Amino acid sequence: MSDAPMPFLAHVAELRRRLLLAFAALAVATVASFSFTETLAEYLMHPVAGLSFVYLSPPELFLAYVRIAVLAGLVISSPLILFQVWLFVRPGLLKRERRAILAGLFFGAVFFAAGAVFSFLVILPFTLRFFLQYATDRIEAVFSFGEYVGFVTSLVLSFGAAFELPVVTAILAALGVVKGSALAKARRYAVLLVFILAAILTPPDVVSQVLLALPMLFLFEISVIAARRIERRADRRRER
């Protein structure tokens, strides 16, 4: 694609084309994923092996399978979707901005995957054990499959999004939008904001909120360190 300036209508047409390609990739991957949703459902139920699941309305199980297929399709098609994003924004960026955005897309995908895996392998089993301990001989734990899939999806996506914090901060620091010193001074406000975001992003229970807030605070400190290093590197370049 040429780096020459494009008229507004050409930008709109280009955006429409990129969105259509991204949506087509997602749709194809989702349809393909539907053929193995039962296998994925078995894997999702692994943290609560031995417990019974039910569905409480005629379409609930089918809609849960659709949600699983869409999530799997999003994972499969994400490289192509990110590539379409890159092709759209690239012509309007400077060379320094291109490096920052390209690195951000790559590390953003890596950090999102790390957050999703961490939530599923560590946070989800811990959360389920916490709630299952309240079951008694007279009150048995029987999960609605649709509700369970929604809970897992919400948890995985929340942690994946939370793990993007260092990447977003590094991109903004590289573009000169934020400074590490300013982030450090705003630490007390960041703590409050982290707990508010954790309450919004997670399922409505205190345990999940705290378990998300603590890693977010750790990620914020990593963000401050990364922003300070980028700031010092930029200062050294200006002194030369």
Check residue 28 and give its pLDDT.
94
Task: Round to whole Å and give the CA distance between 164 and 208.
Answer: 18
Residue 1 binned pLDDT confidence (cut-offs 50, 70, 90): very low
Model confidence at 106: pLDDT above 50: yes
Predicted local confidence at residue 135, as pLDDT: 79
Looking at residue 149, its pLDDT comes to 92
Confidence of residue 205 (pLDDT cuts 50, 70, 90): low
Q: What is the SS3 assignment for 49?
A: coil
Q: Is the pTM of this model over 0.95?
A: no
Highest mean pLDDT among 17-21, 156-160, 199-203, 231-235 belongs to 17-21
DSSP string for residues in 91-119: GGS-HHHHHHHHHHHHHHHHHHHHHHHHI
User: How does the average pLDDT of the chain come out, rounded?
Assistant: 83
More confident residue, 229 or 236: 229
Cα 236 from Cα 230, distance rounded (Å): 10
What does the pLDDT look like over 73-93, one tens digit per residue?
998 998 898 888 888 888 877
